[in-house]
């Protein structure tokens, strides 16, 4: 046997042991109902907004200088959680290892100050100095300004208008916004229409955060003839409408917005099943006069509070729940490794079948004749099945067998047809909708959360292609060929692909390559070779890979410390590109095996999930356990296939 052969054989033995340990650990995390569900966490802004929500729900009495809400103990825990994330320079970041962000820091400063922290406290002085250095209150994003304007802390005339009359515009205009933007903006439009002036403690303000040298008005684009300046003009007209427009049309818009929002709380973990939409719905219900004891209000508040994780010493919020996503990844990883018990996979498959969507939601506006199917991300979100989850669930179901084989097959067939119908005209797949790419909407003043649209992306397209082919779709099917053409067209000049839902080029490249490999693309093709060479060129000296969230801002790969999750993506990408035996592959495998914990899992500190690029990042706490097992299984199976 050659030296290389001996080396590979030794490594394979270690990989088998690592997979067995990882599988035992992952199986120990499976819930009795059959699903997996890890924490999903983000930055300090969620706890800051919780304190803002508590101020809304429990305002101080008139003339009260100190705010003493009944939830004081929870607020104190939230403050400690916020302070635990303060950076040495006084700011707060939006991802681990990142720089201070002015919006996150302003939210934290407000939350701490209204909770009773003295402005002369060192932590407050440092935060204030960092905010001013970053451009002051004026540099914050629109949602920070909007939220604080409801309490009279930012001038309403300098925040974007969100009129409920948009609900009356014909032609499905609302559905040109991304699903999450719709869920946020519709209840927010009701809050805007009611023009709240909520009380704050006597004498409380944030005047110390304003920079006197920076105007409050919207910054004009350099090019006078631009979509940005056009929408600034529209916003000015809307502010006149707020004062002099038709009261009847406003009532109609508000009523339609409330009906739309309340309808979408049915069979759901809350409106859109996401934190900000749920928060704005509570505000809207309150302003519309719903009693705190009404079914609608109690349900909305209860769903919001379910996102809270509170112990005796700590409190944090999740932006949403991720059980379907976690379950699909875990089940597929276990099945691919060959280390799962049939009972565990059957139990997971049975649970997943109960979560298939069988009613029409927002997606059906553009696909009215398509039979409902697909899966959402959370425990319940019937109006919003998403394409990415559906692809991942199909991959898990293709590797397992439910208790009812006929129901299992019928479910797969429906979901395959749904995915085929949800392909966009450019050949790619997006997250929730078809052809959601009306670019001018990105320049609306309240669109600076950088997610007004839901365009197609390489990571979802690659996963959907792989899922479809695993479920029996011919690689020569026109949809697959269009997907291949899309991926070839969207490849970056350096050989990578942009990753929309994971950080970033490592994620996009991994799943683009997996999709292309499933579709039968030769590893001798130039685009496959370029991608493999790019992955090898950015490997860290320790054998792993890491990518900083900053890559979204720079538009190119930015290296970071190696993480098990991103190393797993890179390893799977290399194998999909046709590289099974290079030193890069061997070093990557060694990295994962050597860093496995005694319990069979892995540890990492960096954020690798993406919510809104450049604005909001996520830490999926099971990624570090599931993706390394998936990658090691991919490596082990590639060696078997090549024997």
Q: Which residues pair with 40 in a beta bridge?
A: 620
Q: Which residue has the tokens 């959601």?
A: 436
- Residue 613's nearest CA partner among 549, 518, 524 is 549
Whose CA is closest to 106, among 77, 81, 84, 135? Answer: 135
Q: Cα separation of 226 and 559, whole Å?
A: 35
Report strand pairing: 308-310 vs 40-41: unpaired
Query: DSSP 3-state assignment of 616?
Result: strand
Length of the chain: 643
What is the four-CA torsion angle of 120, 121, 122, 123, rounded to 10 degrees? Answer: -120
Cα angle 572-539-512, degrees, rounded to a multiple of 5: 35
Residue pair 85/43 in contact by the 8 Å Cβ criterion: yes
Are 516 and 462 contacting, i.e. CB atoms less than 8 angstroms apart? Answer: yes
**Dist CA 565 CA 504 (whole Å):** 12
Q: Cβ(575)–Cβ(514) under 8 Å?
A: no
As annotated, the active-site residues are 388
Best CA proximity match to 189, nearest among 139, 242, 148: 242
Closest by alpha carbon to 615, among 91, 98, 52? 98
As a whole number of angstroms, the distance between CA 272 and CA 255 comes to 19
The answer to whether residues 497 and 555 touch, using CB atoms and an 8 Å cutoff, is no
Tokens of 639: 């060696």
Helix axes 102-114, 122-133, angle to 10 degrees: 150
Q: In this structure, are residues 373 and 385 in contact, taking their beta carbons and an 8 Å threshold? A: yes
User: What is the 3-state composition of the chain as percent helix, strand, coil, each rounded to the nearest 5?
Assistant: 55, 5, 40
Q: Which residues of 52-66 are buried (b: 16+ CB within 10 A; e: fewer)?
A: bbbbbbebbeeeeee
d(CA 398, CA 395): 5
Question: With contact defined as beta carbons under 8 Å apart, do 165 and 233 qualify?
Answer: no
Task: Identify whether the C-beta of residue 35 lies closer than 8 Å to the C-beta of residue 326.
Answer: yes
Pairing of strands 315-317, 609-612: unpaired
Phi-psi bin for 614: left (phi > 0), alpha (psi -120 to 50), beta? left
Torsions phi, psi for 621 (to 5 deg): -75, -10
How many angstroms separate the CA atoms of 335 and 342, rounded? 9
The pair of structure tokens assigned to 177 is 């916004």
């Amino acid at each position: 046997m050659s030296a290389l052969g001996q080396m590979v054989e030794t490594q394979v033995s270690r990989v088998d042991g690592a997979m067995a340990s990882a599988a035992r650990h992952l199986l120990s995390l499976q819930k009795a109902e059959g699903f997996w569900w890890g924490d999903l966490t983000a930055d300090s802004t969620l706890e800051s907004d919780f304190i803002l929500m508590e101020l809304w729900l429990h305002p101080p009495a008139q003339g009260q200088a100190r705010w003493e809400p009944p939830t004081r103990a929870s607020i104190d825990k939230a403050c400690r959680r916020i302070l635990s994330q303060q950076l040495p320079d006084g700011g707060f970041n939006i991802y681990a290892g990142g720089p201070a962000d002015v919006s996150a820091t302003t939210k934290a400063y407000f939350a701490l100050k209204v909770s009773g922290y003295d402005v002369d406290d060192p932590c407050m002085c440092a935060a204030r100095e960092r905010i001013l250095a970053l451009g002051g209150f004026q540099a914050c994003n629109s949602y920070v300004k909007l939220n604080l304007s409801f309490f009279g802390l930012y001038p309403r005339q300098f925040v974007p208008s969100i009129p409920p009359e948009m609900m009356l515009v014909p032609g499905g205009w609302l559905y040109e916004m991304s699903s999450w933007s719709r869920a946020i903006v519709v209840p927010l439009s009701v809050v805007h229409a009611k023009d709240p002036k909520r009380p704050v403690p006597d004498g409380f303000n944030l005047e110390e955060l304003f920079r006197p040298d920076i105007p409050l008005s919207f910054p004009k684009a350099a090019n006078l003839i631009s979509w940005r300046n056009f929408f600034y003009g529209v916003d000015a007209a809307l502010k006149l409408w707020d004062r002099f427009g038709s009261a009847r049309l406003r009532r109609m818009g508000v009523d339609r917005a409330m009906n739309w929002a309340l309808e979408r709380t049915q069979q759901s973990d809350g409106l859109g099943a996401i934190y900000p939409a749920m928060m704005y719905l509570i505000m809207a219900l309150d302003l519309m006069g719903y009693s705190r004891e009404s079914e609608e209000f109690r349900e909305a508040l209860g769903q919001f509070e379910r996102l809270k994780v509170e112990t005796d010493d700590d409190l944090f919020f999740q932006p949403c729940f991720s059980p379907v996503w976690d379950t699909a990844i875990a089940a597929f990883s276990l099945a691919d490794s060959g280390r799962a018990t049939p009972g565990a996979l059957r139990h997971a498959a049975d649970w997943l079948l109960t979560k298939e969507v069988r009613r029409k939601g927002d997606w059906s506006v553009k696909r009215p004749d398509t039979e409902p199917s697909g899966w959402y991300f959370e425990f319940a979100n019937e109006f919003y099945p998403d394409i990415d989850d559906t692809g991942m669930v199909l991959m898990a179901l293709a590797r397992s067998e439910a208790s009812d084989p006929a129901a299992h097959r019928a479910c797969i067939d429906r979901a395959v047809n749904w995915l085929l119908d949800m392909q966009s005209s450019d050949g790619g797949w997006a997250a929730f909708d078809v052809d959601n790419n009306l670019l001018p909407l990105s320049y609306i003043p309240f669109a600076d959360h950088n997610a007004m649209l839901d365009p197609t992306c390489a990571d979802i397209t690659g996963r959907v292609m792989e899922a479809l082919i695993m479920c029996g779709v011919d690689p020569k099917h026109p949809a697959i060929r269009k997907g291949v053409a899309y991926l070839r067209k969207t490849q970056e000049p350096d050989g990578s692909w942009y990753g929309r839902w994971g950080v970033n080029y490592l994620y996009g490249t991994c799943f683009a390559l997996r999709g292309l490999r499933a579709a039968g693309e030769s590893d001798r093709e130039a685009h496959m070779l370029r991608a493999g060479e790019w992955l090898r060129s950015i490997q860290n000296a320790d054998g792993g890979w890491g990518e900083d969230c900053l890559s979204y801002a720079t538009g190119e790969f930015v290296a970071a410390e190696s993480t098990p999750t991103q190393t797993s993506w890179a390893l799977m990408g290399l194998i999909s590109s046709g590289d099974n035996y290079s030193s890069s592959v061997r070093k990557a495998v060694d990295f994962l095996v050597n860093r496995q914990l005694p319990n069979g899992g892995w540890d990492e500190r960096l954020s690798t999930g993406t919510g809104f690029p450049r604005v909001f990042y996520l830490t999926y706490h099971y990624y570090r356990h599931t993706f390394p097992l998936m990658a090691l299984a991919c490596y082990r199976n590639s060696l078997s296939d090549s024997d």
